[in-house]
Chains A and B, each alone.
Chain A
Amino acid sequence: MKKTIITVVGKDTVGIIAKVCTYLSENGINILDISQTIVDEYFNMMMIVDTAKATKEAAVLSDELTALGKEIGVIITCQKEEIFDMMHRI
């Protein structure tokens, strides 16, 4: 299992989750957990995904998700779990 954290932040609109999930399924990425809220009409989502069977390199996924975010009008980041583990767990 290779856990990666995807966050999506931006103005709420129709189909954000659908578009992100479609991209993930097309690239062999399994979703483990999703949490999502709307704060002041702003969409906040965090996904924990498994990229062990992903068909693309991590850096490429990150680039393509950033581009997808621009298309939808939200900011998408895709980061390996270790950066959060290192920072928040001793």
Chain B
Amino acid sequence: MINFREVAETNAMIQKENLDVRTITMGISLLSCISSDLEELNRNIYDRITSCARDLVKTGEEISKEYGIPIVNKRISVTPIALIGGAACKKPEDFVTIARTLDRAATDVGVNLIGGYSALVSKGMTAADEMLIRSIPQALTETERVCSSVNVGSTKTGINMDAVRLIGDMILETAYLTRDRDSIGCMKFVVFCNAPDDNPFMAGAFHGVTEADQIINVGVSGPGVVKTALEEVREADFETLCETIKKTAFKVTRVGQLVAKEASKRLNVPFGIVDLSLAPTPAIGDSVADILCEIGLEYAGAPGTTAALAMLNDQVKKGGVMASSYVGGLSGAFIPVSEDQGMIDAVEAGALTLEKLEAMTCVCSVGLDMIAVPGDTGATTLAGIIADEMAIGMVNQKTTAVRLIPAYGKKVGDQVEFGGLFGYAPIMPVNQFSCERFVNRKGRIPAPIHSFKN
């Protein structure tokens, strides 16, 4: 029988330490919607999404009430739209009509974000892929809830540098088009290397072509819970530290597993995966950076940060895998800047730089995330930063991603405000030396060799 102490522990995690299920994401395949007629395609997409996800939000809220666990977001991911729209779209504006349809469907079923306005171009771009990428700035400007991603590289194929270069331009254009709202459009776009097919987290969620018709994926959270647990073992050795993280990660993930199974049963949609990520929010105490500080760093970014993060990430996975029958998605500690008050503090204190963040991404998921850079950063510089991060993913056989916000008209020392879960971000300085000649080379970087590991 459950005892008093266990109940109190669970409820303290929920009420005081921000334990929540970050998202229930329903993946929906749109392959059956394909048509060469644009109007029909849009109609099919709208009908498919609104019928599949009709009860998603209501079910999420019911589960939340019955188990007393907040489920913060209910979201949808769809098949990459470049594949769906290829037959009907003749110009980038045609793709934008699909973005509007996704936005309308998301609004009507009540989900706050819908992901999958995406293209997978790790080796090459089809005409449709390129049109979709070119339509992203307009699509993100004209819609509220649509999230977009492009996979530009993988360990098996190398990095498509033509796509990277194009994305550099496109991010700047998105920043310009949404300049009156702190370049907020860029927040809804992420570029990937080795993008997973079953990621429930935005902005990078899409429903991969390897997936079934419909699927439920769940992302848990709980940096605050880990931090509180670590406060109890402040002077302990590494073994104790690691055990504590593992046990906590187990408990957090179990809640995700419960919610995922329950949502899957009630919606009659197969359960896909639980994503083990430690996802921070701007709420005080819900911070991955604070965990690093609790482990023993003055600020995130201090020497030792990469080692501490590597250990944290590994223990979270070790604890989490036993708690769920299927683990997938991004699964690791997230280190977004704007969504994590401890990260923001570290940047403002001068402890954390873009280069240190890049090093940190070598040992955790997912990459350079929610980082605001000066508005006058050049497209080739953005492309260079993206290429660096993609190379880390490619060589280390891991998922990496970049979500940069070159805030229009802002410079180092200013701030951008995104609101809600997305928080605010100080503008971070960018290395001023040029990579133009490198980025402007045509073609792709070949896939790396996987022997002679050094």
Q: Which of A58, A59, A62, A84 contacts B7 (CB 8 A)?
A: A84
Using Cβ atoms and an 8 Å threshold, which residues of chain A touch B61? 59
Mark out the residues of chain A between 46 and 90 whose CB falls within 8 Å of any chain B CB in the assembled complex. Answer: 46, 48, 58-59, 62-63, 77-88
Q: Which of A48, A58, A86 contacts B65 (CB 8 A)?
A: A58
Mark out the residues of chain A between 2 and 49 whose CB falls within 8 Å of any chain B CB in the assembled complex. Answer: 5, 7, 33, 35, 44, 46, 48
Cβ of A86 and Cβ of B6 under 8 Å apart? no
Identify the interface centre among B1, B2, B6, B254: most chain A CB within 10 Å of its CB: B2
A61 to chain B: closest CB distance in Å?
9
Using Cβ atoms and an 8 Å threshold, which residues of chain B touch A33? 1
Cβ of A48 and Cβ of B62 under 8 Å apart? no
CA distance A86 to B68 in the complex (A): 14
Using Cβ atoms and an 8 Å threshold, which residues of chain B touch A84? 2, 6-7, 10
Q: How many residues of A contact B (CB 8 A)?
A: 23
Using Cβ atoms and an 8 Å threshold, which residues of chain A touch B7? 5, 7, 46, 84
Cβ of B6 and Cβ of A80 under 8 Å apart? no
Using Cβ atoms and an 8 Å threshold, which residues of chain A touch B255? 83, 86-87
Cβ of A81 and Cβ of B2 under 8 Å apart? yes
CA distance A46 to B11 in the complex (A): 12
Using Cβ atoms and an 8 Å threshold, which residues of chain B touch A58? 62, 65-66
Could you give, for residues 55-70 of chain B, a 1 whenever the CB lies within 8 Å of some chain A CB and a 0 otherwise?
0000001100111110
- Output the nearest chain A residue to B67 by Cβ-Cβ distance: A83
B251: Cβ under 8 A from any A Cβ: yes
CA distance A78 to B68 in the complex (A): 7
Cβ of A83 and Cβ of B10 under 8 Å apart? yes
Using Cβ atoms and an 8 Å threshold, which residues of chain B touch A79? 66-69
Using Cβ atoms and an 8 Å threshold, which residues of chain B touch A83? 10, 67-69, 255, 258
Cβ of A77 and Cβ of B66 under 8 Å apart? no
A62 to chain B: closest CB distance in Å?
4
A44 to chain B: closest CB distance in Å?
8
Q: Which of B4, B9, B62 contacts A35 (CB 8 A)?
A: B4
B321 to chain A: closest CB distance in Å?
13
B244: Cβ under 8 A from any A Cβ: no
Identify the interface centre among B4, B8, B257: most chain A CB within 10 Å of its CB: B4
CA distance A84 to B6 in the complex (A): 7
Q: With A83-B10, A84-B7 given, is the CB distance from A77 to B2 under 8 Å?
A: no
Q: With A5-B7, A7-B7 given, is the CB distance from A85 to B2 under 8 Å?
A: yes
CA distance A45 to B254 in the complex (A): 25
Using Cβ atoms and an 8 Å threshold, which residues of chain B touch A46? 4, 7-8
Using Cβ atoms and an 8 Å threshold, which residues of chain B touch A88? 2, 6, 9-10, 251
CA distance A85 to B255 in the complex (A): 10
Cβ of B68 and Cβ of A62 under 8 Å apart? yes
Cβ of A63 and Cβ of B6 under 8 Å apart? no
CA distance A5 to B7 in the complex (A): 8
- Output the nearest chain A residue to B58 by Cβ-Cβ distance: A59
Q: Which of A5, A35, A86 contacts B258 (CB 8 A)?
A: A86
Using Cβ atoms and an 8 Å threshold, which residues of chain B touch A87? 6, 10, 251, 254-255
Closest 8 pairs between A and B when the two form their complex, measured CB to CB: A79-B68, A59-B65, A86-B254, A58-B66, A83-B67, A62-B65, A88-B6, A84-B2
A-B contact pairs, 12 of them (CB 8 A): A7-B8, A44-B4, A58-B65, A59-B66, A77-B11, A77-B68, A85-B2, A86-B254, A86-B255, A87-B6, A87-B251, A87-B254
Task: Using CB atoms and an 8 Å cutoff, list the residues of chain A in contact with chain B.
Answer: 5, 7, 33, 35, 44, 46, 48, 58-59, 62-63, 77-88
